[in-house]
Amino acid sequence: MPSLPLRFVVLCDSLDMPLWQANCIKEAVASGAAIPAGVVVRAAQPDPPNDSKWQKRWRNRHLALWRAFNRIYVNRFSKATKSTDMRDFLSDVPTIAVHALKAARRREVFDSETVAFIRNAKPDFILRFGFGILTGEVFDCAKLGVWSYHHGDPTEFRGHPPGFWEILKKSRVAGVVLQVLNDELDGGCILHRGHFKTNLHSYVRTRDALYFGASSWVRRVCADINANGFRLAENSGATQLGPVYKEPTNRDMIKFCFACVKEFAASQKTYKANRQNWNVAVVDAPIHVVAGLEGPEAQTAALSQAHWMPRVSGTFRADPFGYPLNRSGDIRILCELYDWRRHIGSIAAVDYNGGKFGSAKLVLDAPTHLSYPFVLHHNDDICYIPEHSAGRDISAFQVDEQGITTHKATLFPKSQLIDATFYECDDTFWMFSLDESTSKNTDLHIYYSSCLEGPWRAHPLNPVKSDIRSARPGGTPFMHGGKLYRPAQDCSKHYGSSTVISEVKVLSKFDYVEEVVAHVNPLPNGLYPYGLHTVSAVGNKTLIDGARKVSVLRSH
């Protein structure tokens, strides 16, 4: 098994790298996961004669709109591709400038001198940030192979430009893979993959989300190799590959512009003229039924009998968690109470006695937004841990029998982690949370500790999952049939559109694996058909929330 730091050689077109590539290298090195052992940079090419330039432009005039759009707009406003000088950072690293040789099928091959340079660096892996489609001896120069980012889901979108065709085809998500290359195009082992939300009216934002969102994966994979070995056999390449896309033609660009304008107008109508109005319900069924683990018919029957809280003008309720009050089935619900006038949420308590809801009582308020009050039984006490990333705080609040907050214990000071969700197993506390430092609603991070008060340690594979469809926590983890399940939000269509249930197959201090096994969608003909993003257990009952669209005037 390799030991950290892993040695790597960088293949790049210039030492003035795009910012996302510079971040990728710097993070891997700063973490101690990897160390650069060599740099192969493309030698500067002489400028072609002006006549040759104009002849080439004329031959490619059918691509003129895309190339003008990319040069004038995309490269100007993109943050991820901002040029970053890496000469000082790599000043002590052996470097060679080379001209790659052309090979068959538009591939590039390195000469014997370059191959010898790479071999002498004794790399564990080669990181490809430049040059074209490679072939030849370079694949045999590192025991862990040549790693390359492919910004596109190889089962649906291959080629380039990254993120463009996903927007034109109205795909809600765009994929990224970090892959080990081989002689077969897009056929190598996938080291890590993720899915990010496409912004259907902004190509720059979509592409930046792909670049920045995946920039930490080299560090993550190096940590995984050090902890668990190089699991090449466990990660096979795509069995069915999608079509290969090329630069868009002028006709494609015209369609693209019209599509972006149409999507922008639709988004303004949806998010400026309307709001999501949420409410909370009690379902008289255990969480595994509501989660769909007993089949869709039982799930639909349970959801159709949901008992919704009475609506209160000027507010909405969401993110319900609770605990039993007695053996008669009465429960106390803690939820977000959002005030449309203040535009922030507070934490409220609502008692559910004899099948009836009591009035909402404010239990926690702050100058900044509060939500997602995760309830935890700890040392025979009941506490709740609200989402308070706006205040850079994760704290546990203990409550007495009347539901009054009596004590505060800070777990994560100065933290912007979102929707902290806890699970205790074998004397270890696990915390699942969302980290939005690089992408929104996409990166699941895990922390663990021997006690709730900490200290907490970050999982070495963070982000353990990068998927807009199933990363953000959405309720209480639960056991059923000897298996652990984790509810999460699907934000690919829009925020809080539905909940997915993932089976946690591996949870350890060195590894994490989960697989989506069920979905909890809002009933299309129900009172709240627009969203459902929290599913939490209270004994044999389940709490859910639901959203519907209302006009801005009505919500106020």
Q: Could you give the CA distance from residue 449 to residue 196 in angstroms, rounded to a whole number? A: 30
Q: Could you give the CA distance from residue 263 to residue 266 in angstroms, rounded to a whole number? A: 5
CB 22 within 8 A of CB 84: yes
CB 511 within 8 A of CB 461: yes
Which region, left, alpha or beta, applies to residue 295 given φ > 0 means left and ψ of -120 to 50 means alpha? Answer: left
**pTM of the complete model beyond 0.75:** yes
The pLDDT value recorded for residue 556 is: 47
Dihedral sign, CA of 3, 151, 97, 137? positive
Q: Could you give the CA distance from residue 216 to residue 463 in angstroms, rounded to a whole number? A: 8
The pLDDT value recorded for residue 54 is: 78
Sheet holding 6-12, edge to edge: 95-98, 34-42, 6-12, 125-128, 146-150, 173-180, 190-197
The pLDDT value recorded for residue 234 is: 46
For residue 286, the number of C-alpha atoms closer than 13 Å in the C-beta half-sphere is 9
The domain limits of the chain are: 6-243, 274-550
Under DSSP, the state recorded for 6 is: E
Closest CA to 138 of 221, 40, 236: 40
Q: Which amino acid is at 43?
A: A
Interhelix angle for 19-30 vs 217-228, to 10°? 30
Dihedral sign, CA of 53, 59, 65, 66? negative
Q: Which amino acid is at 549?
A: K
Q: Could you give the CA distance from residue 298 to residue 209 in angstroms, rounded to a whole number? A: 39
User: Would strands 541-551 and 535-538 be described as parallel, antiparallel, or unpaired?
Assistant: antiparallel
- Looking at CATH, the fold of the domain delimited by 6-243 is given as Rossmann fold (3.40.50)
Q: Could you give the CA distance from residue 349 to residue 469 in angstroms, rounded to a whole number? A: 30
Structure tokens, 18: 């795009």
Under DSSP, the state recorded for 48 is: P
> How are the residues of the chain apportioned to helix, strand and coil, as percentages rounded to the nearest 5?
25, 40, 40
Q: Which amino acid is at 509?
A: K
Q: Could you give the CA distance from residue 283 to residue 532 in angstroms, rounded to a whole number? A: 13
Q: Is 547 helix (H, G, I), strand (E, B) or coil?
A: strand
CATH 2.115.10.20 given to domain 274-550: yes
Across 15-100, the runs of DSSP E, i.e. the strands, are 16-18, 34-42, 83-85, 95-98
Structure tokens, 390: 């706006």
Interhelix angle for 203-213 vs 19-30, to 10°? 20
Classify residue 386 by burial, with Cβ atoms within 10 Å: 0-12, 13-18, 19+: buried
- Site of tokens 């895309």: 66
Q: Is 73 helix (H, G, I), strand (E, B) or coil?
A: helix
Q: Distance between the two ends of the chain, CA-based, in angstroms?
A: 61
Closest CA to 399 of 416, 417, 377: 377
Query: Can you count the helices (H) and strands (E) in the chain?
Result: 12, 36
Q: Is 432 helix (H, G, I), strand (E, B) or coil?
A: strand
Could you read off the pLDDT tens digit of each residue along the chain, which spans 556 residues? 556 799 999 999 999 999 999 999 999 999 999 999 999 999 987 666 766 777 877 888 899 999 999 999 999 999 999 999 999 999 999 999 998 888 777 788 999 999 999 999 999 999 999 998 898 999 999 999 999 999 999 999 988 899 999 999 999 999 999 999 988 877 788 999 999 999 999 999 999 999 999 999 999 999 999 988 887 644 444 467 888 999 999 999 999 999 999 999 988 877 777 888 999 999 999 999 999 999 999 999 999 999 999 998 889 999 999 999 888 889 999 999 999 888 899 999 999 998 899 999 999 999 999 999 999 988 888 999 999 999 999 999 998 877 788 889 999 988 999 999 999 998 899 999 999 988 899 999 999 999 998 899 999 999 999 999 999 999 999 999 999 999 999 999 999 999 999 999 999 999 999 999 999 999 999 999 999 999 999 999 999 999 998 877 664 4
Q: Could you give the CA distance from residue 113 to residue 137 in angstroms, rounded to a whole number? A: 11
